[in-house]
A and B are shown apart, each in its own frame.
Chain A
Amino acid sequence: MMFLANPVRFLRLADTLLPWFRWGALLALALGLYFGLFASPPDYQQGDTVRIMYVHVPAATMGEGVFVFMAIASIVALVWKHPLADLAAKAAAPIGAGFTALALVTGSLWGEPMWGTWWVWDARLTSVLVQFFLYLGYMALWQAFEDPAKAAKASSILAIVGVINVPIIKFSVDWWNTLHQPSSIFRSGGPSIDASMLVPFFIMMIAYALYFGWIFLWRLKAEVLARRVQTRRLRMMEA
């Protein structure tokens, strides 16, 4: 990991990896859309609204996963003082926030026909909304400080504190019997969903993960370059 601490090395690695993530994501998204919208059946109970699951669940999973990634990167930044770790968390945050917002919106669009309501204050919806606000607070904290080093440390602490929310989201549907349905895929007995629906589901999960990789590498590249611009400007002022 310290191997990547050198920005030049990181940029070179990023440029090598980017095409893989880019084309992988586009291919997976295309396949996922094909299977999700065309080559899979409607659910016998939910009809065609089950197709919303293929965009809703991957968004929700990625929203949580990116927060965990941010928290781990923040720990690496604070404890090992890795020079790129805080930038990695910063780069990931807007993407995670976007995924979380998508989860909330597509969830509402699924909830209205299925449950008869756009919103309900059940444990999972509330904690996902909390996660969205935590993302916003994290991004606001980066902007609030003039000194980027201070901003990095403050945001790292917030990310580590906020990650506690993620297991609450995960287990909320098991601990509280409210509206949102319990896990039907990632459970100990194996998935309870038909294979014809698992195919688009897993393809979309992979697609979202690859898409995250692509956009994340772009953003991190931008952050690393921005730092380089800053140092160069400072050096020019001193000269």
Chain B
Amino acid sequence: MSLVLTLIKRDLVLALRHGGSAWLPLGFFVIVSTVFGFSIGPDTALLGRLAPGLIWVAALLAVLISLDRMFQGDFEDGTLDLLRLSPMPLGNVVMAKIAAHWLSTGLPLIVATPLLALELSLPAHAFPILFLSLIIGTPSFSLIGAIGAALTVSLRRGGLIIPLLILPLYIPILIFGVSAVDAVLAGMSPWPHIKLLGATFLMAAVLGPVAGTAALKMAAD
């Protein structure tokens, strides 16, 4: 377990040290949400109704652009091979990388959400559910995203193909997340959608590491 934690810490330190590229997803999230706000204009009622979808899409895109960095750095400089040969199971390595990815990408997005929700005139009573939906949804994005990142790690321009592979799998998460917040806006219960979101998280928690590990093993051969 401590090996996993060490790996997570190492990845976080590396991400912070890389300065610009680590903040890119967050910056992208903020800018995209702002651009959405500009394009829809001053109708705050309309903006507020669209806000859940817009924020979720901005979060999804921000995670998507950061996925290719999950394994590629370590693959290229040989660290991944070293990790494979180490006594630590490759599955643990994958889970550590997913955790580090969420901590460096998903978590900052969640922290920035209140600012953007205000910017896009989301009614205040929907904030808590927006938070909850992103807290469950962004780890799911990292888990499923690991599959795409692992499948394409050996490709030189693999980052371009990741969205094509991963977006179809992200769509249910997006739909459930947005529906939960929309439900609150419509005065209905968000819990059926939150439960479905939770179910997709559980599936992602199994599928992501398993498929990601299989893909990494294949890439390294």
Where the two chains meet, the residues of A that have a C-beta atom closer than 8 Å to any C-beta of B are: 78, 126-127, 130-131, 133-134, 136-137, 140-141, 144-145, 150, 153-154, 157-158, 160-162, 164-165, 168
Taking A144-B158, A145-B155, A161-B207 as contacts, is the C-beta distance between A154 and B215 under 8 angstroms? yes
| Distance between Cα atoms of A162 and B207 in the complex (Å) | 11
B165 at the interface (CB under 8 A from A): yes
Q: Is the interface of B mostly helix, strand, loop or mixed?
A: helix
Among B23-31, B130-138, B168-176, the stretch in contact with A: B168-176
Taking the closest CB of chain B, its distance from the CB of A75, in whole angstroms, is 12
Asked whether, in the complex, the Cβ of B155 is within 8 Å of the Cβ of A165, the reply is: no
Asked whether, in the complex, the Cβ of A137 is within 8 Å of the Cβ of B214, the reply is: no
Mask, B132-165, CB within 8 Å of A = 1, is 0000000000000001000110110010010011
Where the two chains meet, the residues of B that have a C-beta atom closer than 8 Å to any C-beta of A are: 147, 151-152, 154-155, 158, 161, 164-165, 167-169, 171-172, 175, 203, 207, 211, 214-215, 218-219, 221
Q: Which of B152, B161, B168 has the most CB of A within 10 A?
A: B168
Asked whether, in the complex, the Cβ of B211 is within 8 Å of the Cβ of A141, the reply is: no
Q: List, in ascending order, chain A residues with CB within 8 A of B211's CB.
A: 157, 160-161
Asked whether, in the complex, the Cβ of A126 is within 8 Å of the Cβ of B168, the reply is: no
Q: List, in ascending order, chain A residues with CB within 8 A of B161's CB.
A: 137, 140-141, 144
Contacting residue for A133 out of B151, B168, B221, CB 8 A: B168
Asked whether, in the complex, the Cβ of B168 is within 8 Å of the Cβ of A162, the reply is: yes
Asked whether, in the complex, the Cβ of B168 is within 8 Å of the Cβ of A165, the reply is: yes
Taking A130-B171, A137-B164 as contacts, is the C-beta distance between A144 and B152 under 8 angstroms? yes
Contacting residue for B218 out of A131, A134, A136, A154, CB 8 A: A154
Asked whether, in the complex, the Cβ of B165 is within 8 Å of the Cβ of A137, the reply is: yes
Can you offer 10 A-B residue contacts whose CB atoms are under 8 A?
A126-B171, A133-B168, A134-B168, A134-B169, A136-B164, A144-B158, A154-B152, A154-B215, A157-B218, A158-B147
Closest to A138 in B: B165
| Distance between Cα atoms of A158 and B172 in the complex (Å) | 17
| Distance between Cα atoms of A164 and B211 in the complex (Å) | 13
Asked whether, in the complex, the Cβ of A150 is within 8 Å of the Cβ of B219, the reply is: yes
Asked whether, in the complex, the Cβ of A150 is within 8 Å of the Cβ of B218, the reply is: yes
Asked whether, in the complex, the Cβ of B147 is within 8 Å of the Cβ of A157, the reply is: yes
Asked whether, in the complex, the Cβ of B218 is within 8 Å of the Cβ of A164, the reply is: no
Asked whether, in the complex, the Cβ of B147 is within 8 Å of the Cβ of A126, the reply is: no
| Distance between Cα atoms of A220 and B214 in the complex (Å) | 26
Asked whether, in the complex, the Cβ of B171 is within 8 Å of the Cβ of A161, the reply is: no
Asked whether, in the complex, the Cβ of A157 is within 8 Å of the Cβ of B214, the reply is: yes
Q: List, in ascending order, chain A residues with CB within 8 A of B152's CB.
A: 144, 154
